[in-house]
Structure 1
């Protein structure tokens, strides 16, 4: 069983994968999207297939007061679009064993701050954060989901 964490950004979509035991999240790269992260869905579908992902965790960028703004609504639309594409892939699949991965949203407030802090603590120069902060944010999102699952 493998889970995929997704951090939707305007320049990059960060990805993270879990280990098969659902204990640890690790960076899995970025998808460069140049302003429209809906373009990342095809590449995310490839990762889901290649890595045999069972569950996709998408960061939901709530506002600090917990309400949903424009970015959160866009993330919900992205997740819904991913679910539709997964359903279509399932219908097109010849395999009767294909399981559609579950897609969940998780509050991602302050994940970028946490990601920057982790990179700083790893002695990564702050001018080197930009290329990796999205995937590190995806790690934080996914690790949060994994930890919550173990706590239940």
Structure 2
């Protein structure tokens, strides 16, 4: 199975996770930092990562409101996904509600300092997005 990349796209950061070769486990890869709302820079870095890791499948977090509505942040993710598709990538939008909350809870339970949490929270949220997708693909393992 080919590796898959998961993305947690924010307004100034993009957490990136990657699956193992078996498609069972997601792990952190990196956090892309970019000027506020400058998605072109982020997009170029994502493309570089996809090429470097020989990845064709992307799971991109879709930040819906708690009531399921699509807001501005979700529209940005949808547009980002469309641009990746134009480049020939297979993109799945994944409901990411509460992934950052879950990632924060994991880091707090691990007694990770606030400074360290800030550095890796986006990566861990990307892991939560990708792992949810992988689990569903593997029958809820």
TM bin (shorter chain): over 0.9
- Quote how far apart the aligned CAs of 1:121 are: 2.1
Structure 1 contact 18–24 (Cα < 8 Å) conserved: yes
Residue aligning to 2:46 = 44
Measured against aligned partners, the alpha-carbon deviations of 1:115-136 in whole angstroms (never above 9, x if no partner) come to 1011112221234211111111
Q: Secondary structure at the match of 2:138?
A: helix
Larger Rg computed on CA atoms: 1
Cα distance in 2 between the residues matched to 1:73 and 1:55: 20
Q: 1:117 to 1:37 in 2, by over 3 A?
A: farther
Cα distance in 2 between the residues matched to 1:49 and 1:4: 11
Structure 1 contact 61–71 (Cα < 8 Å) conserved: yes
- Quote how far apart the aligned CAs of 1:41 are: 0.9
Q: Mapping of 1:67-146 within 5 angstroms?
A: 67-84=69-86, 86-87=87-88, 101-146=89-134
Q: Secondary structure at the match of 1:73?
A: helix
Structure 1 contact 2–17 (Cα < 8 Å) conserved: yes
Measured against aligned partners, the alpha-carbon deviations of 1:71-128 in whole angstroms (never above 9, x if no partner) come to 11111011111222x23xxxxxxxxxxxxx3111000000100110111122212342
Structure 1 contact 9–37 (Cα < 8 Å) conserved: no
Residue aligning to 1:54 = 56
Structural RMSD (CA): 1.3
Q: Secondary structure at the match of 1:29?
A: strand
Cα distance in 1 between the residues matched to 2:38 and 2:27: 21
In structure 1, the gaps of 5 or more residues are: 88-100
Measured against aligned partners, the alpha-carbon deviations of 1:7-64 in whole angstroms (never above 9, x if no partner) come to 0011211100000001110000011112125121111111111111131000000000
